[in-house]
Chains A and B, each alone.
Chain A
């Protein structure tokens, strides 16, 4: 199975700052089928990005995704208070679909 490793585990930032989250795959997901999710405590994951770089419906343009092959990035341009949460990358190109261990973005 494809193993996804996210870095860093925790990102301590202030509102208004930018965030860069990384996701490295043990092998290349088919067709760059990589998604990013945001999860707040007690809630279901929320789709942000799919196909490595396409924003999901209703997602603000401060969220952007990039990458290909085995290295993928989620960038949040200016953190809003509601953006402090855990973020997961997921690959859905090769079965079994797998998730990274998550990056927690916390308030500094």
Chain B
């Protein structure tokens, strides 16, 4: 069965960086993309960007562009999100989610999600 398993919670100081991993199993990693989202306490999810599992192409939300880096390791079917220059409003649960980057009604749908990783920014 499809599973996305994320790394454990992180605490980072303002101005520092944090890196979260998302290990995929149960499907062919290179046939899908991975999107990253975050959700602050009591807030709606916020889309951060996505990366193609096939060729590493990326797309980012303007709000975090320049501070978010997305990479993949196809040998281990793992995606990574690094967030730099941490600020207090980056405190949130970060999720990875799978999507199929094709055409038609089923494409770009976030069909499977990781369990979430709490990132806390605190001095």
The chain A residues found within 8 Å of chain B, CB to CB, are 31, 33, 35, 37, 44-47, 50-51, 54, 56-57, 88, 90, 92, 95-102
Contacts and interface: CB of A to CB of B under 8 A. Distances in A.
Interface of B: 35, 44-47, 59, 61-63, 95, 97, 105-106, 108-116
7 A-B pairs with the lowest CB-CB distances in the bound complex, closest first: A51-B105, A44-B113, A97-B47, A50-B109, A99-B44, A96-B61, A92-B108
Contact of A45 (B45, B59, B106, B108): B45
B108 to A, nearest CB: 5
Given A50-B106, A50-B111, 16 more contacts: A33-B105, A35-B109, A44-B114, A44-B115, A45-B45, A45-B113, A46-B113, A50-B109, A54-B106, A90-B45, A90-B110, A92-B109, A92-B110, A99-B44, A100-B44, A101-B44
Contact of A47 (B62, B108, B110): B110
Given A44-B95, A44-B116, A45-B113, A88 B45 contact: yes
Nearest to B95: A44
Contacts of A46: 113
Contacts of B97: 44
A35 B46 contact: no
A99 B111 contact: no
Contacts of B105: 31, 33, 50-51, 54
13 contacts: A33-B108, A44-B97, A45-B113, A46-B113, A47-B110, A47-B111, A47-B112, A50-B106, A96-B47, A96-B62, A96-B63, A98-B47, A99-B46
B90 to A, nearest CB: 17
B113 A95 contact: no
Contacts of B106: 50-51, 54
B107 to A, nearest CB: 9
B109 to A, nearest CB: 4
A40 to B, nearest CB: 12
A50 B63 CA distance: 25
A99 B45 contact: yes
Nearest to A44: B113
A61 B63 CA distance: 37
